[in-house]
Structure 1
């Protein structure tokens, strides 16, 4: 699950969404200073990642890409699942993806004082280029993969991952549509449990 999916899975609480959004930039136990609902979002993000990494459908998706992408298969699956979510957003949620992304950016801007340095660096580019919206197109997905590949310290083949995705597109899409309702249910249950 990448940024768009994590936002969608946050429910309706803006502070939970913000915490979920920044979670990858909050290391380990360095969570002091965040309000309780933002902390809940950080914890939700980690719970979703643990659930996702262990799920058989996600493991199947990774296996389709393993031959060429190796350990980066997980990165590719995260992004390709966001692609399917964005491409079918209006079908799934009966609302405009464009308007949703603008709401997300406004929420994140409203909590700018809590942004970790890494988020302060990339968020202006994300908003200006509307990454969350551009995930819907294979071209946007390809640019995102290329960017991650360039910034990585390790050798990778992310610049050609789009070919692997195209080769297995229908199988990956089937995995996503089978998996997404399950991770939605998991997230709802996790949030409900935390609020009791």
Structure 2
């Protein structure tokens, strides 16, 4: 799952939006973060592990062409955010725009975020990054941004076309897996280790 999904699952489980997003940026020991952030980071890690280990995800990854196998998990994460944004009204009572505006405000008001996330929050809001996932062009832009973080960005060449060709398979995987993750996130929030509460 990528940014939008983690924020949605945080809202779904009534845990810290900032903490759940910080899970992509906080490395190693998280004891220095505020307790709500610790819980969110822990939950983020649990969701990532569940997603990576799930047979639905593994089967989807196997369907990617051989040349994309190395980056297929990243592409699947981005594609799942696109699916969530595309069918947002089926998963949340607020509009996507209203939810994203609330998320940007919540993130901006949180102090003590990992440095890279703190730097990114104003840019996310300015460019409406989360909302952009709703359109294919936004997904393609996300693929481009991620590719620039790699020493070999050419690994992502043509990935946008592959995701478009795999659209139905990705949608089936997402619609099957995501309701399970929503349930897991609520259960896991109640099972948070005491040191993170």
TM-score in same-fold range (> 0.5): yes
Task: Measure how far apart 1:194 and its partner are.
Answer: 2.5
Structure 2: runs of 5 or more not aligned: none
Higher relative contact order (CA 8 A, sep 6+): 2
Deviations 1:53-108 (A, max 9, x none): 00011112212224231211000000000000001001222320000000000000
Q: CA RMSD in A?
A: 1.8
Between stretches 31-40 and 180-189, larger displacement belongs to: 31-40
TM-score, normalization by structure 2: 0.91
Equivalent in the alignment of 2:55: 56
Equivalent in the alignment of 2:125: 127
SS in 1 for 2:32: coil
Structure 1: runs of 5 or more not aligned: none
Deviations 1:116-156 (A, max 9, x none): 12113322221111111000101000001011112212354
TM-score, normalization by structure 1: 0.92
Equivalent in the alignment of 1:74: 73
Between stretches 6-15 and 67-76, larger displacement belongs to: 6-15
| Cα distance in 1 between the residues matched to 2:2 and 2:92 | 18
Q: Compared with structure 1, are the counterparts of its residues 136 and 34 closer, same or farther at alpha carbon in structure 2 (3 Å cutoff)? A: same
Equivalent in the alignment of 2:4: 4
Q: Compared with structure 1, are the counterparts of its residues 130 and 4 closer, same or farther at alpha carbon in structure 2 (3 Å cutoff)? A: same
| Cα distance in 1 between the residues matched to 2:164 and 2:25 | 30
Q: Compared with structure 1, are the counterparts of its residues 12 and 84 closer, same or farther at alpha carbon in structure 2 (3 Å cutoff)? A: closer
Task: Measure how far apart 1:159 and its partner are.
Answer: 3.8
Normalized per residue, the structure richer in helix is 1
How many residue pairs match? The answer is: 194
Between stretches 3-12 and 48-57, larger displacement belongs to: 3-12
Deviations 1:8-33 (A, max 9, x none): 1113687621111111211111x133
